[in-house]
Structure 1
Amino acid sequence: MKITAILSALAATTLVSAGTFHIPKGQHTANTVPNAFIVEYDDKVSHGDFHNSLNSHNIGFKVRNEYNIFNGASVTVTSDHKGEALAKLPGVKNVWPVQLRHVPKTKKSTKKPTDPEVVSDHHMTGVDVVHKKYKLTGKGVKIGVIDTGLDYNHPAFAAAGANAGCFARNGKNCRVAHGWDFVGDDYDGTNTPKPDADPMDCFGHGTHVAGIIGGNALNIKVSPKPPQPFVGVAPEVTFGAYRVFGCKGTAGNDIIMSAMELAFNDGMDVINMSLGGGSDFKYNAEAVLAEKLIARGMALAAAAGNDGENGVWMVSDTGLGDSSSSVASFDNAYGAYYSVSYGGVAHPYSISTKWNKVINLPASATLVPIFEKDGSLSDGCDASVYAGKDVKGKVVLVVGDTTRCLSGGRGANGVAAGAAGMLIQTTPYGIASLGGTDNFPMGGIEFQAGEDLLAIWKKTPASALTWSTAQSSFLVEGGGTPSSFSSFGTDGELRSKPDVAAPGGNILSTLPLAQGGYGLMSGTSMATPYVAGSHALLIQAKHAKPRGDEIRKIFKNTATISSNFQSKTKTSAAKQGAGLINVLNAITATATISPDHIDLLDTNHFQGTQKITIKNTGKHTETYTLSHIAADALNSYPDAKKAWPLATPLVEPDYATVSFSSAKVKVPAGKSVKVTLKFKEPKAGNAAQFPIYSGYVVATPSSKGGVAVHVPYLGVKGDIAKVPIADTDLKFPQVATVDAQGNMTDLPKGPITFDLKTNTPAVLIRLGSHTPDRQIRVYDDKKNFKGFVYTADLGAAFGYKGRDTYYDSNNNLVFSAYVWKDAKVVASENSTEVPVSLPDGTYNIVSANQHKLSKGAYPADFEVFDLGSFKIARA
């Protein structure tokens, strides 16, 4: 493989038990702040103790942020010391480099702001009923939005009776009642923040997130007005706006942690974190702080990530804590549409922008499908397809493949042929938005609707088209199912992540007034605030503030277990978690199941016997029937010879079986009963391809109308120690050479000598799966271990790391490059000694990746690659 440039890779860190510290490894300079570290102290160590320790060891420093709940600080080291020096200090528990987080890139929406389904999300989740029947609005609940800020002047955030929103410092009765700008407009993650008291949003992401939580655009009377009315999940919630991103959308994670603590201190009941840093283990600094906050009563909702096109092991880092909610995304399901009936069946259609009114054609305007010469439905892009066809005064039907032309071109050809109107069949499914042609009725219809119209036409071509004069509610084709972009789990320890899902595809919400006030976005960034707002409704309904992990359990127990589009089986828990959040179920259920997920691990570590506790929170004795729903298994790898996961896992019918110690249990009001579950792995499925299997254990009450509760389970068939970690498909790991100008190329054939000036070795690493310990080892010519590769920008080459994405946002291949220009090594993973330079000589480099769930004995528990020997002879 030809290498021409050093490309960025995901950051990684290392966490060890108290008393032994390992320096975080694997970061790339593009993803970290130079010489900046987050330090966690032992419990009895104070900030003053830490400062004194730094001074007594002659370590120059500047305090960036200090934390109390976390009990630590972030510092910039101003003297000639690295993170190793911090690790040696007495009372230091853990150290992380300050990593850069980016505002997630939302996915391009496939709809228009005027399309009905972009405001249909509450029908999917029961929130519409909760609003109307139970009058729950989130009033009295506080949600902190840690994001790009919030345009608090927006009328959708106005208090009742007001035409504009406000921030608390501008007066009383402001829904945005707390907040802080930690960074200033010009902050890019690497320069000095300029905090102030005004959390105004100049980016847009945070305002969109807040609108989903609690915007109210039902009765906007001032300009700009929304493209259609909508309301957030909790339209009377109180906001805290914590701005951690400047206008460029990058922030150090130490600033994010400061925002998390301030949100807690301001009394936020929930914090929303629609941000993340990619695949990781649960020991990243934000996740550690999140666990501490949740233990003190707060709830945290975090985005699962938008890496669905990268296959398994990709759920994002911020929500990986044991008690945090990692949120997946679903596409919107329902919409209020005008419809056209044919053969007695009504089909919804989207109105083209240039027509922009209900279609109302006479019965004489019958349907005429336009076919190609081979008999297939034409895309209508060539005027010649109308030759010899009488379409005058008729409605033509064409297919909506956009590879050759758009709706405007199709419409122009229809107009030229004398058609009265046009219906365009959406591909591959859904209802496409159309621009259209001036003064020409055009509508987009679902793919299946097009097939149905064709079938009726072939039988009775003279059938009339009947156009509705009012809108009706329709389930949109492909809606109400997991979004393709939503990341797949599991995490690096085979834990069940994500936790729960919410609407995140094609969501209409608020934007800053300077950006037009309203817009569509898609992403788990949009699903996460939906869950945060749902927390507010549940807290209000319970008249109490349960701990965040208790709220998560209720939502997971009562979620709607869903299927992929046109699938008869349930979607994998590695994609949807416990299912689509159902707020109506959550507030009316009278039972819970603990724990809220079951991790069966792999075949070699199989945890087949599990216990669950069913608690009756109702007022009467209840009998529950236990059952099992199997979900799709995900074949993660194409075959045993491939090292990189499939971009889209193959769905297989590999189902586990479950038996219960009691098929029915009677539980008195306020009491609990334990049930033992015995799982058996699927008989089907190739263990060499590591299928991820999952399903749901359900407890159904006997009382009429009672809400069933469930927990997801998940396991991997096969030996997880055999899951490939390094991307050997693309010849990683490997050693390359870097010249004095920084250009990187393959090593020439035969022995090579590096002078570390005109040519320098670079070890290239690319991971297709998590590893608890990624190492680059160095041996001398007598096979004596000399240490781990160390570079100034990436640190020592050991420590845990999540998997890499395929490409970065610029479509460049992602990998880590350890450019070994100083030939330095660290002697031991437990060492905090200063790295030393090796003398000239002959050395051998070995790349090794620890297998998941292993004890870490080298080399037995590692995937090992001998990268060959070479000479170092300094010029």
Structure 2
Amino acid sequence: MQLTGVKNNSKPWKLALIALSLLVTITAALEDVPTLPQDILRDPKFRAATTGNTIAGRYIVEFDEKYSGTSSDFLERLTQDINRDDPNIGNKLSMTISHEYDSTPSIFHGVSLSIQPKKRKAVLGKVQTASEENVVFTASQNRVVNKLVKSNYVKKVYPVTIIPRPEFTRTSLAYDEALLPIINSAALEVSLPFSHEMTQVNRVHKELGLTGKGVVVGIIDSGIDYTHPSLGGGFGPGFKVQFGADLSGDFFDVNNPSKSKKGKTPLDTCSEKFHQGGHGTHVAGIIAAQDTRYNFTGVAPDVTLGMWRVFGCQGSTSSDLVINALILAYEAGCDVINLSLGGATGWGEDPTAVVANRIAKSGVVVVAAAGNAGSEGPFMVASPSVADNVISVASVDNDYVLLPNVILENGDKFDYSLSTSTKTFPNGTIVAYADDEPEVLACGDSKPSRSFTGQIVLVKRGNCTFDEKTANAYKAGATAVLVYDNELNTSSHPVTAQNARIPVASVSNAAGVTLMGLLGNETSGVGVVFEVELSGSPSLSARKISSFSSVGTSFELDLKPNLAGVGGSIFSLLPVTRGSYGVLSGTSMASPYVAGAIALYLQAHPAHNSSFIGQKFQNFALPSFVDNPAKQGAGLIQVYDAITQLSYVSPGQLSFNDTAHREEKTLAITNQEKEPMTYTIRHFSNRAIAPFNTSQHGYTPIQPAIYTKANVTADLGLSLKNVTVQPGETVEFTVNVDSVSESLDNEPFPMYGGFITIDPVTDYYGEAKSMKIPYVGISGNVADIPIFPKGFPMIVDSSDFLGSHEPGKPYVLKRIPHSRPSLYAVFRLLMGTAHLTTEILDENQEFVGNAFSTSYMPRNTLNPGNFLVVNSWNGSIIDEQSETLGETIPLKNGTYYMRWKALRLLADPELEDSWLTSISDPIVVS
């Protein structure tokens, strides 16, 4: 099948956007990690990055178990080995160690190695061009990496990757002169932070007296304001925050970490201008706050905290730094480690996931956010939460939202949210921007029918930015803009208006519809009063999976996320310089909630290991029987039940893979009660998720995740329907998928799921709870899912970004000395793949050599600029001969083809039909 460039049949603005995206992506690609030979990439010791965000010349090297030397010994030995092969290599590159992982060999023994080019001196008055230097450095670096993977003292080699800063939504609050939020505590129906009633944390505090005392919780995040009175006011022995380190400093640069100036402690000193600041303090408050001003506590207020800071005041961090933090937290004796960070990869081969997994297997409970990619469909769970033994946490919306109210002149009351750029909102008269659609959207060149001088303008969300809406209203004389939501929801979605010159706030769709009804043809407007005090408004999305929460499964079809915590609209602490308190939303908030709950469990049962604890929480979680487990795992944690119930079922979840690979599963019921327990075993199906739609443009990922129109369910065969388990006894039973109901043709590969429930029949004490085991599977053979979308991979000529290349016609590659390559292979992926490679074929389409390759790639989103991989080609292939490994061999002038190969999911790479292939149009190299 021939797949070439994108046909020029799109709207001009879309083509321009794609062209700009390609230009940015290709420019960045020129500075990517130099191409590595297939011999290295296919070596079992080399683990390619699970995202395209690798950092040039940086590698995490894990030593072999038999190696007993230090990091310095390793570098000296490596240098000697390389110099033996090439005495001049020291003139081409320098090698330094960024991080040493020597102290805990049982978890990870190795280094983070930086390989950087040396500036070449002029030879006979001629200085090498950047392109020539890059060729020399690429070959030299490849020799180093080849030496690493061939060395008997090296176990694995991983490229260092960029880990993005955690995303979250902040609800803007009104603050008083003392920079404290103005909360009407008397009007709160439930005490802050609202979530403890949902999860039984209040019962654990009151009835069991557990507060996490004696348990150490480590946090890997952006730092902490330990000067906050609610976090103990200090750092070190005797304080709540006793452990940790600043590993990043305020101005950490992932590409140049050696210049970062680290603080003496993990104190968050970032100013208000850094809009994403305060994340770590908020996380710490969720776990351990003891607040007297608003009379609320964290989940486990008496735990001891550690904070390892890996983010500066802005920007990202790196995988080698997170690994350093994980090892330090482990060595500090943490019982629980929380990571509210990660990138949406869907693969567990990422080195942060590998290290987190080993720590979890050692007995420490590792909890990580599932990610905030809920709008991007299934298979988007973040690493390291995707690791087998790490607890991946989804987010559930809070029962209440803490917001101020707007009161209409008829007495109706609705909550509202201030925009990110607005501190206060005026009272006054509100009018509609226009009386009809689409003018009420206030987008583009729309012009209102009258002036709004001195009035607040009501506009509808959608079709353009909030800044554009605000600018149009401002031109018409408006003093403020109120945006109402375009979706049926319960509360106002926060808006971002960075450049607004007037105040901006938002209300729900219901509030907007009410206002539009009151306004009608009333040109004089409706009076409104915007209260400043915050009060708790019930949320109709309470206990539902948050819209931002990432959806599983992993690309290996393991059930992720595993559990859900409360992460939507969470009131917690912020640094004192940023208002001391705030409401944030994200799986970043749900993850520490679960970490705190596990600290309560460990106070009651200190001998239990991480695997058992995760299963116990899954057994007694509260699922939504509407939502698929790929969105919620086992459901919302119920801490009291997890601690007090004595019986359990293992494993805590099941994955049936796909139709072609599903196997019989075994569940084991253990009764630790003093009396025999009789159970009824049943099965409930949830709705199936539709990953793809084929009705219009072939295979298209569905974003956000939706449920299938057909009721796709599994018919499970249970070897037991009723069972009596004696005290101390374990009874096993098997579970099979007998059949899966048919799906619609345009909704292929539905992800079915449900719960197996084990309900107590005999209950001597009236306290036995049902145990639940979530399961998922995919209908169909996932090896049949096409990995390449229509039009991709594609070749792009740098002189023709708009894609006017005529299909079937040859591309022309002119090799001009000292210039950059002009042809690029651009990839988008419908599905993740464990291996993606580009081969070069001759004019007879016979194999000539390899051009480039990568592994463990996630799928793309529908964002036009989300080009996952861009590779430049200069008309060369990589020499795979061991004695010259890393050198490139220029091809003779002639006609060639690119053949792209992607390994299908769950397929055997040794079988030819396991690879999906595509061949380009001819390329004339001259």
Q: Same fold (TM over 0.5)?
A: yes
* SS of 2:383 mapped into structure 1: coil
Note if contact 2:402-2:583 (Cα within 8 Å) is conserved in structure 1: no
Q: Aligned pair count?
A: 778
Cα offset, 1:384, TM superposition: 12
Match of 1:390 in 2: none
Per-residue CA deviations over 1:155-187 (Å, capped at 9, x if unaligned) read: 1102xxxxxx1000xxx4200000111122221
Match of 1:751 in 2: 810
Instruction: Give the alignment partner of residue 46 of structure 1, picking from 47, 55, 68.
Output: 68
Instruction: Give the alignment partner of residue 146 of structure 1, picking from 220, 227, 230.
Output: 220
* Equivalent residues in 2 for 1:200-211, closer than 5 Å: 200-201=267-268, 202=270, 203-211=277-285
Match of 1:162 in 2: none
Query: Which residue identity lines up with residue 81 of structure 1 in the other structure?
Result: Q
Query: Which residue identity lines up with residue 548 of structure 2 in the other structure?
Result: F
Note if contact 1:307-1:486 (Cα within 8 Å) is conserved in structure 2: yes
Partners in 2 of 1:832 and 1:576 — Cα distance?
Answer: 51
Note if contact 2:199-2:639 (Cα within 8 Å) is conserved in structure 1: yes
In structure 2, relative to structure 1, the CA distance for the partners of 1:555 and 1:654 (3 Å cut) is same
Partners in 2 of 1:613 and 1:501 — Cα distance?
Answer: 23
In structure 2, relative to structure 1, the CA distance for the partners of 1:425 and 1:775 (3 Å cut) is closer
In structure 2, relative to structure 1, the CA distance for the partners of 1:857 and 1:622 (3 Å cut) is same
Match of 1:540 in 2: 603
Partners in 1 of 2:760 and 2:458 — Cα distance?
Answer: 48
Match of 2:913 in 1: 860
Note if contact 1:153-1:166 (Cα within 8 Å) is conserved in structure 2: yes
* SS of 1:129 mapped into structure 2: helix
Cα offset, 1:41, TM superposition: 2.1
* Equivalent residues in 2 for 1:286-365, closer than 5 Å: 286-334=352-400, 350=415
Query: Which residue identity lines up with residue 836 of structure 1 in the other structure?
Result: T
In structure 2, relative to structure 1, the CA distance for the partners of 1:743 and 1:661 (3 Å cut) is closer
Partners in 1 of 2:783 and 2:266 — Cα distance?
Answer: 48
Q: What runs of 5+ residues in structure 2 fail to find an aligned partner? A: 1-5, 7-14, 84-93, 118-139, 175-180, 271-276, 425-431, 442-446, 451-456, 474-481, 496-504, 518-533
Note if contact 1:15-1:21 (Cα within 8 Å) is conserved in structure 2: no
Partners in 2 of 1:541 and 1:268 — Cα distance?
Answer: 16
Instruction: Give the alignment partner of residue 616 of structure 2, picking from 525, 536, 554.
Output: 554
In structure 2, relative to structure 1, the CA distance for the partners of 1:425 and 1:148 (3 Å cut) is closer
Partners in 1 of 2:899 and 2:614 — Cα distance?
Answer: 44
Cα offset, 1:445, TM superposition: 8.5
* SS of 1:130 mapped into structure 2: helix
Cα offset, 1:518, TM superposition: 1.7
Match of 1:800 in 2: 856
Partners in 1 of 2:721 and 2:333 — Cα distance?
Answer: 44
In structure 2, relative to structure 1, the CA distance for the partners of 1:734 and 1:130 (3 Å cut) is same
Moved more, 17-26 or 717-726: 17-26
Cα offset, 1:472, TM superposition: 11
In structure 2, relative to structure 1, the CA distance for the partners of 1:194 and 1:599 (3 Å cut) is same
Match of 1:726 in 2: 788
* SS of 2:798 mapped into structure 1: strand
Query: Which residue identity lines up with residue 840 of structure 1 in the other structure?
Result: K
Cα offset, 1:755, TM superposition: 2.1
Partners in 1 of 2:493 and 2:163 — Cα distance?
Answer: 34
Cα offset, 1:47, TM superposition: 3.8
Cα offset, 1:634, TM superposition: 0.7
Match of 1:586 in 2: 642
Partners in 1 of 2:387 and 2:331 — Cα distance?
Answer: 20
Match of 2:885 in 1: 833
Cα offset, 1:593, TM superposition: 1.2
Match of 2:141 in 1: 81
In structure 2, relative to structure 1, the CA distance for the partners of 1:215 and 1:787 (3 Å cut) is farther
* SS of 2:833 mapped into structure 1: coil
Note if contact 2:786-2:831 (Cα within 8 Å) is conserved in structure 1: yes
Partners in 2 of 1:595 and 1:336 — Cα distance?
Answer: 38
Note if contact 1:637-1:649 (Cα within 8 Å) is conserved in structure 2: no
Partners in 1 of 2:628 and 2:377 — Cα distance?
Answer: 13
Match of 1:672 in 2: 730
In structure 2, relative to structure 1, the CA distance for the partners of 1:27 and 1:430 (3 Å cut) is closer
Per-residue CA deviations over 1:319-342 (Å, capped at 9, x if unaligned) read: 1111101111111124699999xx
Query: Which residue identity lines up with residue 50 of structure 1 in the other structure?
Result: F
Match of 2:310 in 1: 244
Correspondence 1:708 to 2:770: yes
Q: What runs of 5+ residues in structure 1 fail to find an aligned partner? A: 159-164, 221-227, 341-345, 357-369, 386-397, 410-421, 436-441, 455-470, 563-568, 791-796
Cα offset, 1:34, TM superposition: 2.1
In structure 2, relative to structure 1, the CA distance for the partners of 1:783 and 1:339 (3 Å cut) is closer
Query: Which residue identity lines up with residue 316 of structure 1 in the other structure?
Result: A
Note if contact 2:40-2:146 (Cα within 8 Å) is conserved in structure 1: no
- TM-score under structure 2 normalisation? 0.75
Query: Which residue identity lines up with residue 815 of structure 2 in the other structure?
Result: L
Identity of aligned residues (%): 30
Cα offset, 1:614, TM superposition: 0.9
Cα offset, 1:836, TM superposition: 2.5
* SS of 2:589 mapped into structure 1: helix
Query: Which residue identity lines up with residue 842 of structure 2 in the other structure?
Result: D
Instruction: Give the alignment partner of residue 66 of structure 1, picking from 83, 95, 100.
Output: 100
Cα offset, 1:863, TM superposition: 1.6
Partners in 2 of 1:61 and 1:433 — Cα distance?
Answer: 49
* SS of 2:841 mapped into structure 1: strand
In structure 2, relative to structure 1, the CA distance for the partners of 1:852 and 1:14 (3 Å cut) is farther
Partners in 1 of 2:888 and 2:643 — Cα distance?
Answer: 61
Per-residue CA deviations over 1:498-529 (Å, capped at 9, x if unaligned) read: 11111111212211122222222211111111
Instruction: Give the alignment partner of residue 182 of structure 1, picking from 219, 222, 247.
Output: 247
Match of 1:457 in 2: none
Cα offset, 1:27, TM superposition: 7.6
Cα offset, 1:581, TM superposition: 1.4
Note if contact 1:644-1:724 (Cα within 8 Å) is conserved in structure 2: no
Cα offset, 1:450, TM superposition: 9.1
Instruction: Give the alignment partner of residue 508 of structure 1, picking from 571, 589, 611.
Output: 571
Per-residue CA deviations over 1:797-822 (Å, capped at 9, x if unaligned) read: 14221112333xxx833331101136
Cα offset, 1:597, TM superposition: 1.3
Query: Which residue identity lines up with residue 492 of structure 1 in the other structure?
Result: F
Note if contact 2:55-2:160 (Cα within 8 Å) is conserved in structure 1: yes
Partners in 2 of 1:296 and 1:61 — Cα distance?
Answer: 33
Match of 2:632 in 1: 576
Per-residue CA deviations over 1:386-432 (Å, capped at 9, x if unaligned) read: xxxxxxxxxxxx999557999xx9xxxxxxxxxxxx9x999612144
Partners in 2 of 1:257 and 1:174 — Cα distance?
Answer: 26
In structure 2, relative to structure 1, the CA distance for the partners of 1:72 and 1:769 (3 Å cut) is same
Partners in 1 of 2:781 and 2:37 — Cα distance?
Answer: 25
- TM-score under structure 1 normalisation? 0.79
Correspondence 1:821 to 2:874: yes
In structure 2, relative to structure 1, the CA distance for the partners of 1:746 and 1:317 (3 Å cut) is farther
Partners in 2 of 1:754 and 1:18 — Cα distance?
Answer: 26
Partners in 1 of 2:883 and 2:854 — Cα distance?
Answer: 12
Note if contact 2:394-2:565 (Cα within 8 Å) is conserved in structure 1: yes
Per-residue CA deviations over 1:568-589 (Å, capped at 9, x if unaligned) read: x520111111111111221122
Query: Which residue identity lines up with residue 843 of structure 1 in the other structure?
Result: Y
Partners in 1 of 2:286 and 2:38 — Cα distance?
Answer: 36
Instruction: Give the alignment partner of residue 846 of structure 1, picking from 872, 892, 899.
Output: 899
Correspondence 1:198 to 2:265: yes
Cα offset, 1:246, TM superposition: 1.6
Moved more, 610-619 or 574-583: 610-619
Partners in 2 of 1:328 and 1:300 — Cα distance?
Answer: 15
In structure 2, relative to structure 1, the CA distance for the partners of 1:681 and 1:119 (3 Å cut) is farther
Per-residue CA deviations over 1:203-222 (Å, capped at 9, x if unaligned) read: 321111111111122x13xx
Partners in 1 of 2:282 and 2:556 — Cα distance?
Answer: 33
Note if contact 1:84-1:832 (Cα within 8 Å) is conserved in structure 2: no
Note if contact 2:561-2:631 (Cα within 8 Å) is conserved in structure 1: yes
Note if contact 2:149-2:156 (Cα within 8 Å) is conserved in structure 1: yes
